[in-house]
Each structure stands twice: as structure tokens, then as C-alpha cells.
Structure 1
């Protein structure tokens, strides 16, 4: 297990800095510098998605170590904690040493190596926290008592659902199947479920108390403009069909009994189906949103291999399937041509701002070039959703007014960033949601005050879909 975690540490050092992590670390550094979330800084996700990276930012300030490396170490520590809870609950349930050891090695691999480029993202951290809960549910499915540490599994599930409410589907479906199997409501209310519910309720109360603007101002805009952005169902279905289909196929090869209602694999398979439902409901199609689906789909047949002698073709096929899933999870999103050298050719260590709906234009670029991010948000994502709805649907007058208000809100943000941050480099996108040609400069210039501010900038270069503007005023 230690070898697997150390391998993950070494593998992740050069690849950990993805767009989401780069932005959230930058936000936390801004907060440490005195800016306030919801007032000076804006993030579409609830506050926990930001503050969960605060320990990394704080420790980086205290030690001088790169925050990206500290995040890797903290995630490895979280994985070790999850493995400890899984093992100790298995001990309380009196599982044999061989089965416990196999389970620990399996989850060390699934949690530390399989995620690849997803490592350290919110979904990865949430799935790590949720896995002990599914393991405890699987023990109860077998009629075993996981002991008092099941409460810790409940805490982890509560944290996962607070990070992203969709994970309630992953936690709930195995429990619901247990209740159906026993024809009783009692399996619906184990101590860990009560604990998870208490954590979620406590978190909601804390957000309402300390971040009231999120519920009153930002969450309604997210619901209006961001959540409706989704891919067609037909383009989403192949992923869960392929992954769950492969899981069922390997379970069948390992033994017909694995597909019966009483099989030990059923809770893990149910968690994977919950992950599939989460993937489909989010509707974005981004690989990292399928992490729970993929991880638990692999766990379902993998954990059944403990006491079996496998034929070589099954081993080879299983390894090939896991590699394919890993490559899918780490597949890059549609992005941009390399910009580091091109930006630095015009301005060294710039004060950077972007006009785009894509977080990946400015992040982690600003950290890679040792620049200063002067924006109050990562991108004009809400405006993109509002524009898409205005152009592709027939909103009512009230809906149109709300969508126009969202666009105006982000234009005001951009104006404040230009006036207060005084960027000397602005990167302007020419695509809407990486799917449609769109003139973001014209969108900004339609506001007279923004046009006045942007008149100080001259376009110096195009790099793929990105236009580079540099401040010519000398300010």
C-alpha cells in the first residue's frame, strides 16, 4: 500500500496542476491577501469547493513549499485515512486478513493511481471521502457489523455530498437496495447515514450564516445560466453503458452468482450506477464527473477476485479495461494551444485577465508564467450560459430579464477588474463553450464603459482561438 501511495506521489508531481486546481489555489491565495469570497471573488460552486484547498495555501505560506505539492501530499494523506477506516471497519466485521489486505491494495490503486490527471480535483477528493461509506454499506449488506468507526465513514460521505450534492445518489442507492432486499425500512437509517445527514445540514447552515450572498445572489444565477448547460443525453449515455457493461461482463466471467441479488458485488455495482446517474444529471460530459461511476464499477468485480484463481485472458482483459478507463479519465478537455512562451514574449510576469467562458484559458497559465491574476472570477461562464439560452431557446420576458441581468452582472465584474486590476495582458477567446464561434471582444465592447477601458489595449498576436492584447498606455 505504501509503495502505491509513494508511486502516486511521484507520478502526480509533474501533472497535478489542472485548470480547476490552479484557479482554486489562486482564489485561496487572494483570500489570504484579504479579499472576500462572494464580495471580491466569485466562484460558481459552493464555498466548500474553495475552502477545501485553504490548508494547502496556508501551509505553502508557512513553509515556502509550492502549494501544488502540498495538495498532492494532503490528498495522499486523505487516501491513507480512507484506507485506514476501510480496514478498521473490516477488522470490526471480522473479515479475514487476506480479504482485508486485498481490499486495501485494491483501493490504494483505485484511489491513488486510477484518477491520473483527475488527481486532486474536487470530485477526486469527494470520491475518496465517500469510498469508506460504500465499504461500510457493503459490510452491512453481508450482515456484518462495521463497528463504531462507521461513524467516520458517515462524516466522509457528508463531506462528499457537501462538495457536490450529486454524490448523494452514490451513497443512497446501495442502502436503498439493502432495504428492498430485506423488505424493511431499517437499513435506510444506519448510524453512518444519520452522521452524513448531520454533516450536510450543518454545512448548509454554515453557508447560510457566513455566506448568505451565495444563496441569495450567486446560486440563483448558477441555476439560471450554468446548470442548464448540458450535452445531449445521447452523447452522454455511451460512457455509463460501456463502463457498467464491462463491469457486469467481468462479474459474469468470475461466476454467475456475482449477478444475483445477494452477491457481495451488488453494493459496489449499485454505487457505480449512482455514479452514472450523477454523471448524466450533471450533463457536462467531462471525464472527471465520471470518476465515481468508473471507480466503483471497477471495484465491483475486482473485490470478487480475492479468493479466485483467474484465467490469463480474464486478467489481460481486466488490465486492458482498467487502462482504458484510466486513459478516459485523464483525457484532456478541448483547450488552447500553448500560450506560456507567447505571452511572456510580450510581457514578463504579466498582470493577466481573460475574456472567455473557459477556465482553462487563464488557469493554470497565470501560475505557470508567474503572473498575477487580476480577475474576480475564473471566466465569464454564467454569461456564456445566458447567451446560449437567449440564442437557442424562447425565454419568457421574465426569464430574458434575468438572463440579461446575469450578463450585465459579469460585465460589471469585468469592468471592475479592468479598472482595479489594471492588467497589462488580456487574452480574448473566440469560441462559446468550445463549440461555437463567438466574438467575446464585441460582447465586452457593447458596453461603453468597457469599450473605453479596452481601447488602451492593442492586439499583438493570435494563437489558435485566442487573441492576445497588450496595454499600450504605459500605465
Structure 2
């Protein structure tokens, strides 16, 4: 097995090397920046605000702390830690396969398949929360698949459950990825025993423990910020017509390839059923979140590919099927790495105005400020990387719905909350560059500067800035009193 592990290690190492110049995407840069501010003494929920539950921020804290301790870039530490997670997931899956007495050929197929799916397939998704969650979930689904076949997964089950609990704590939607394979087992066995396995119990303990920590340590998030997120952010979603095509195509292709590769497994009791159930759970998470951002489809795509891939036999694999499968995987990888609505290049223009600026944005898109502020060696002075996303959701709801007076009052309160924190950020952070977007949710032309100036106090603060230039959809404001030394 040493040779097989060497190949898997080469796949993971190649992925890590490819990621060094790529990994710093907007979400990761934003969360690392918040972690660095927490290390500097700021407090989440008081000085800093994040749309997602606290684990979204603190899961990157080890990388930020280690990077500061040893003096390296935090994104490099993120790559190393995610690679370690992938290796641990591969080891847990392999140990379960050994305990189940799978043959060497099948163990090798599992090892190489998940080395590829967890390390190379993510592309631009590498290091994001969904990637980390799916890597943590994989041993759980693998253990469930072994039990489905009537095999014993050994002592790795508790570790697999801990990973599933971590994934559900990162995003509760992943309970569907965990739950559907279990529900399939319950229906098949006509018994509740699959709900009481060691892996299911340990996953539940992690989720309950995390919930207790959030309720006690981060009570402000639950009482103040979470209701606003539910009111203004969660309703921002695409219609089913824009969400359904991807799951239909991906799961349909998975079933078609499964039928071609392993006709005997193409039935409800086949070995691939738990993997298909997990991919359907991934599709459900995508539909429930309603954003159709590519990284949210990573669970759907990973387990949909795994279902037929784990049934491959090199002795019977037809060339046409292999080519078609490879093409499908390439298309999925391209989709996962497709860029989000972008902004024009701003780094050189900003540096020509101010070297290493204190930066702030007026926008609802995190991609305007991150990773830009890190790339130019600037300082982010905002209290939230999500910028005015809650305000944009509130305004969109107010413009498109018939609302009761109480609901409209809550939305108005959210908009006031965003304006108040923008005012505090300008007063406390004293940015010398403010970037102003001209679109709402990257879809509708919108004058964010007029929105800010509608508040008298904000208008007074913004009067200290002059508009240096427009670059595409972005207006660059510079502090009138700043003189570049």
C-alpha cells in the first residue's frame, strides 16, 4: 500500500502547490482579517460583525494565530492546515476500509478518488468553509456506505462522527448531507438503529456542544445579529428556476454514469446509494441557501462524482465512458472555479493615490475590499467584511414586497443599523480611501453614495473626501487632507 499512498500524497502536494497563488479568495481574506482584528483585541459581536455563525470566523483563527507566531502569510498556513485535514480524512476512510476487510484494489480506488476529489477538484473553492466541511463529512459518508453493505467500519466511527459534527456546526445545512444517507438506511432496515451508531451520536454531541457555546458565549449574536440576518439576508435568493438546473444535471449525470459503470449497483439497494443520498443532501443545501454561488455546490458535486467513481473497474471500463466521465469532471471543476461578479483592477490606482491606505467600502459585496486590502498592504478599518449586505437585503425586500408596518419598521431598523456602523467606521477608522460601489447585489444600478449621504452625519463625514476617479463600477474617494509622503 506504500506506493498507493505515495500517489495520493503526490496528488495532495500538487494541489497545495497550485493553491499558493490562488487560495486568497474574498471570503477567506475577509475572515482572516477579522481573526487578526480579534487577535488585536477586538471582540466579535461588539466591535466586529459577521453574517455567519461565530465558527465561520474562529475556524480560521488557528491559521491567523500560527501565521502571526511564526511570521508567515496566514493563507499559506490555511493551505497547510487544510492539507492536514484532507490527509486525516483519507487515513480515517482507509482505516475504516481496512476494518471492513476491503480488498487492495478497492482501498486504492477510495484513496486515489478522494485525494483527487478533496484536493484537486475544489480549485478556487479550496480552503473555503464548504471545502473544509465536505472534507470533514467524507469519512462519515464512507462509514455509512460501509454499514450499508453490511460491513463493520471498526474504531474510526467516532472520529468520522466528530467530522460530521464539525461540518454541521460550520453550516447547519450540512445536516441534510449527514441525514439523508442515515434516513435511507433507516428505511431500508426498517429500524432506528442507524440513528444510534457511534458516529451519529458523536456528531450529535458536537452539534449540541457547539450550540451551547454559541448560546452562552455569543449570546449577542443570537439576540442582535442573527434576527437581522434572518430578516434581511436569508430572503435574498434566486428562484427555483435558477437553482434547479445544476442539481438536476449533476445528479442526472451521476446516475447515468453509474448505470454505465456498474449496472448491478444501479438499484435502490446498490452500494452507491449512500453516496447518491449525500449528493442529494448537497443539492438540498444549495437550494435552501438559495444563492447559487459555485462554492455552495461543492458537496453536491463531490458526492455526485464519488457515487459512480467508486464503482470504476479498470478491467471493464470502456474508453468512451472514461472520456465522457473525465469531460464531465472537468466541466464540474470549471464551474466550481468560475469567478464571481468581479470588480475592475484597483490595486495600482489606489496605490498611486495612497500607499498602504486605511481602506473602507460602501457596498454590499465583500469582493470589493477583500482580498484587495491585503494585496496592497493596506489596513481594513471596517467593523464588518460583509459591508452593507444587510442593508441591501432590507432595501430589496422593501422595494419588492407588500409588507406589514411592523415588518417594514424592522427593515428600516436594519438599514439604520448599517448606516450607524458605517458612520462609526469612518469616525474611528479614519480611512483615507473609500471605495463606493454603484450596483446593488451586483445586479441593479444603485447609488450607494447617495444612500450614505441621506444621513446628515454621514454626509458631514463624507464631505471630507473628494472623488478621485471612477473605475468601472467603482468610485474612489480620497481624504482631502491626506498628502502622500
TM-score normalized with structure 1 length = 0.99
Pair 1:235-2:257 in alignment: no
Correspondence for 1:36: 43
In the TM superposition, 1:327-338 aligns within 5 A as 327-338=334-345
| Structure 1 residues 354-395: Cα deviation after superposition (integer angstroms, max 9, x where no partner) | 000000000000000000000000111100100000001111
Residues 21 and 121, structure 1, Cα contact 8 Å, conserved in 2:
yes
Pair 1:216-2:196 in alignment: no
Residues 102 and 306, structure 1, Cα contact 8 Å, conserved in 2:
no
Correspondence for 1:363: 370
In the TM superposition, 1:358-397 aligns within 5 A as 358-378=365-385, 379-397=387-405
Segments of structure 1 that go 5 or more residues without pairing to the other structure are none
In the TM superposition, 1:459-474 aligns within 5 A as 459-474=467-482
Residues 358 and 381, structure 2, Cα contact 8 Å, conserved in 1:
yes
Q: 1:153 Cα deviation (Å)?
A: 0.4
Correspondence for 1:437: 445
Residues 262 and 312, structure 2, Cα contact 8 Å, conserved in 1:
no
Pair 1:180-2:183 in alignment: no
Q: 1:145 Cα deviation (Å)?
A: 1.0
Question: For the residues of structure 1 that align with 2:195 and 2:45, how far apart are their CA atoms?
Answer: 37
Question: For the residues of structure 1 that align with 2:192 and 2:42, how far apart are their CA atoms?
Answer: 48
Question: For the residues of structure 1 that align with 2:371 and 2:316, how far apart are their CA atoms?
Answer: 46
Correspondence for 2:308: 301
Question: For the residues of structure 2 that align with 1:283 and 1:189, how far apart are their CA atoms?
Answer: 32
Q: 1:258 Cα deviation (Å)?
A: 2.1
Q: Secondary structure at the match of 2:231?
A: helix
Correspondence for 2:76: 69
Correspondence for 2:147: 140
Residues 99 and 306, structure 1, Cα contact 8 Å, conserved in 2:
no
Correspondence for 1:194: 201
Question: For the residues of structure 2 that align with 1:395 and 1:147, how far apart are their CA atoms?
Answer: 55
Of the three residues 250, 266, 269, the one matched with 1:262 is 269
Question: For the residues of structure 2 that align with 1:184 and 1:259, how far apart are their CA atoms?
Answer: 24
Residues 468 and 476, structure 2, Cα contact 8 Å, conserved in 1:
yes
Q: Which runs of 4+ in 1 moved over 4 A?
A: none
Correspondence for 2:96: 89
Question: For the residues of structure 2 that align with 1:396 and 1:13, how far apart are their CA atoms?
Answer: 50
Q: 1:427 Cα deviation (Å)?
A: 0.1
| Structure 1 residues 428-460: Cα deviation after superposition (integer angstroms, max 9, x where no partner) | 000000011111011111110000000000001
Question: For the residues of structure 2 that align with 1:174 and 1:308, how far apart are their CA atoms?
Answer: 29
Residues 353 and 362, structure 1, Cα contact 8 Å, conserved in 2:
yes
Q: Secondary structure at the match of 2:154?
A: coil
Of the three residues 415, 428, 439, the one matched with 2:423 is 415
Question: For the residues of structure 2 that align with 1:46 and 1:298, how far apart are their CA atoms?
Answer: 29
Q: Secondary structure at the match of 2:467?
A: strand
Correspondence for 2:291: 284
Question: For the residues of structure 2 that align with 1:381 and 1:201, how far apart are their CA atoms?
Answer: 29
Pair 1:427-2:445 in alignment: no
The RMSD of aligned alpha carbons is 0.9
Q: How many residues align?
A: 475
Question: For the residues of structure 1 that align with 2:193 and 2:45, how far apart are their CA atoms?
Answer: 42
Of the three residues 443, 446, 453, the one matched with 2:454 is 446
Question: For the residues of structure 1 that align with 2:94 and 2:262, how far apart are their CA atoms?
Answer: 26
TM-score normalized with structure 2 length = 0.97
Q: 1:229 Cα deviation (Å)?
A: 0.2
Q: Secondary structure at the match of 1:459?
A: strand
Question: For the residues of structure 2 that align with 1:406 and 1:436, how far apart are their CA atoms?
Answer: 20
Question: For the residues of structure 2 that align with 1:343 and 1:131, how far apart are their CA atoms?
Answer: 43
Of the three residues 117, 127, 130, the one matched with 2:137 is 130
| Structure 1 residues 379-428: Cα deviation after superposition (integer angstroms, max 9, x where no partner) | 11100100000001111111011101111111111000000000000000
Q: Secondary structure at the match of 2:172?
A: coil
Q: 1:306 Cα deviation (Å)?
A: 4.0
Correspondence for 2:18: 11
Residues 221 and 382, structure 1, Cα contact 8 Å, conserved in 2:
yes
Question: For the residues of structure 2 that align with 1:258 and 1:278, how far apart are their CA atoms?
Answer: 26
Correspondence for 1:253: 260
Residues 89 and 135, structure 2, Cα contact 8 Å, conserved in 1:
yes
Residues 262 and 311, structure 2, Cα contact 8 Å, conserved in 1:
no
Q: 1:309 Cα deviation (Å)?
A: 2.2
Q: 1:181 Cα deviation (Å)?
A: 1.1
Question: For the residues of structure 1 that align with 2:26 and 2:423, how far apart are their CA atoms?
Answer: 24
Of the three residues 201, 208, 212, the one matched with 1:205 is 212
Q: Secondary structure at the match of 1:309?
A: coil
- Comparing 90-99 with 217-226, greater Cα deviation is found at 90-99
Q: 1:307 Cα deviation (Å)?
A: 6.3
